[in-house]
Amino acid sequence: MKIKLLTAIVASGVVLAGCKTMESADVGGLLDSGSTAMKAMTLTDDDVVTLSNDSCAAMDAQNKVADAKSKYTLRLNKVIAGMPQAVNGKKAVYKVYMTQDVNAWAMANGCIRVYSGLMDLMNDDELRGVIGHEIGHVGACPEFCVRGIA
């Protein structure tokens, strides 16, 4: 599988290099992109979880996380009460970031974050829908995340 992908990347570069429109293109950049794609394709499931652990810890350090007694954390705990506490063997770790941004995200390690700005705009059922979507990302990772699908 990896050899076929590498062959396709190299062949694409050769074909594109012959195009008139590629005369002003950055061929080095194209090769760098191919190299990055190959690195992504060779990541193991454990690599993806390790990267997710590091990224989630960094994001938590950069954002204000709602404390356990916050109205947002209490509401989130109520909303997720019937939702999975683990996905594909990974513990789901739900937290709220205190920000007016409207967002939510998840990582392959079960890290699921919801922004208070999003919570302010949604009722509990809408919030469950968003969180369910994020749970789907955890369930699809790391396989689909590595391939850039999720």
What residue ranges do the domains of the chain occupy?
Answer: 2-41, 45-146
23 catalytic residue (yes or no): no
Structure tokens at 49: 């979880």
DSSP state for residue 64 in the 8-state scheme = P
Task: State pLDDT tens for residues 24-48.
Answer: 555 566 555 555 555 556 778 788 8
* pTM exceeds 0.75: no
Which is catalytic among the residues 23, 126, 134, 143?
Answer: 134
CB of 93 within 8 A of CB of 110? yes
* pLDDT value at 22 more than 90: no
> What pLDDT does 44 receive?
81
> What pLDDT does 48 receive?
83
> What pLDDT does 46 receive?
82
Work out the pLDDT band at 64, boundaries 50, 70, 90. very high
Q: Tell me, which fold does domain 45-146 have in CATH?
A: Zincin-like (3.30.2010)
